[in-house]
Amino acid sequence: MRILVIGANGQLGAEFMRHQNSGFQIDGVGRAECDICDLQEVQQCLNRYDPDVVINCAAYTAVDAAEENREVCFAVNHDGVLNLAKCCAERSIPLVHFSTDYVFDGQKEGVWYEDDTPNPINCYGESKLAGEDAIRKVCNQYLIFRISWVFGQYGPNFVKTMLRLAKTRSELNVVSDQYGGPTATPCIVRAVLGSLANSRSGERGLAWGTYHLPSEPFVSWAQFAEFIFAKAQELELLSVVPQVHSIPTSEYPTPAKRPLNSRLGSGEQEVSACDWQTALGRLLPGIIHSLEGE
């Protein structure tokens, strides 16, 4: 099975590229090689690589900046995704795509499942939902995974931000009334490649459709920060741990509204939850090493 990763230089795409010895032939392209906003470039890219599966990791993810750059955000997260969907559908190539917990408004008290009604409250969430809808309208063979609070060794993320701040600050204010499941990029990659491997071997992989990829235990941003610092200190990677002060969202205004409840659950038995705490422990040495050169 030949896989083509679009957005191979980003946080999630780079993690997929680390799994080239996983039994798949994995090729990757960045924006310079394939700008998904250019339909002709997408067509040429698929003709050049002739993949069996396309995994789209390209996205506009600057949540706050999206509020002032709506057109650019939608150009990537909707128009670009539509281009990919059209090209994949024309060639009968399955498309794997990633969406977000931000398609929900956060007002539900319990866990969000795949059949809950989306109602995004910021531009980023609106654009990602539009991308989902574009795929569902055009493709017959697709897997859409909604993921939340992504972190990993590559690209910017909350874990790296906290560790950078720990170098210069003894105290930090972190929001404590937004809850979700931090999701490590290796967990996402394993879930996707595992499903594709099952399909290739004749075992039952995931049926085409939209899935949540849960990650547990659920925590607030403040609790996540505290765990990051505690784990880094336990591994002797951080000598001084900042004190985390819990604050409400109202005391940390941002251009884009955030959902208070981003807990994702899956109604599908085939989708198991990721253990982000174990994954973080494995990733921390590499993350801190990458920050040392900054």
All structural domains of the chain with their residue ranges: 2-152+182-217+262-273
Going from the C-alpha of 127 to that of each of 25, 69, 79, 132, the distances in angstroms are 31, 11, 9, 9
Q: How are beta strands 179-180 and 219-220 bridged, if at all?
A: antiparallel
Cα–Cα distance measured from residue 78 to residue 134, given in angstroms and rounded to the nearest whole number: 7
Question: Does the structure show a pLDDT above 80 at 181?
Answer: yes
- Give the mean model confidence (pLDDT) for residues 204-221: 92
Q: How are beta strands 274-275 and 183-184 bridged, if at all?
A: unpaired
User: Sign (positive/negative) of CA torsion 244, 247, 249, 254?
Assistant: negative
For the entire predicted model, the pTM comes to: 0.95
What pLDDT, on the 0 to 100 scale, is given for residue 202?
55
What tens digit of pLDDT does each residue of 263-281 get?
999 998 788 899 999 999 9
Cα–Cα distance measured from residue 220 to residue 246, given in angstroms and rounded to the nearest whole number: 9
Cα–Cα distance measured from residue 255 to residue 246, given in angstroms and rounded to the nearest whole number: 20
Which band of pLDDT confidence, cut at 50, 70 and 90, is reported for residue 203? low
Query: In which order are the strands placed within the sheet that holds 261-262?
Result: 219-220, 179-180, 261-262
Which band of pLDDT confidence, cut at 50, 70 and 90, is reported for residue 164? very high
What tens digit of pLDDT does each residue of 75-92 get?
999 999 999 999 999 999
Cα–Cα distance measured from residue 119 to residue 280, given in angstroms and rounded to the nearest whole number: 30
What's the mean per-residue pLDDT of the chain?
A: 95
Q: How far, rounded to the nearest angstrom, does the alpha carbon of residue 168 sit from its chain's CA centroid?
A: 28
User: Residue 216 forms beta bridges with which residues?
Assistant: 275
60 annotated active-site = no
Q: What is the DSSP string of 81-123?
A: HHHHHHHHHHHT--EEEEEEGGGS-S--SS-B-TTSPP---SH
Of residues 64 and 199, the one with the higher pLDDT is 64
Superfamily covering domain 2-152+182-217+262-273: NAD(P)-binding Rossmann-like Domain (3.40.50.720)
Catalytic residue among 124, 142, 179, 211: 124
Minimum mean pLDDT among 29-43, 44-58, 126-140, 267-281: which range?
267-281
Residue 169's identity, in one-letter code, is R
> Which bin fits 284, alpha (ψ -120 to 50), beta or left (φ > 0)?
alpha
CB 148 within 8 A of CB 185: no
- Give the mean model confidence (pLDDT) for residues 61-75: 98
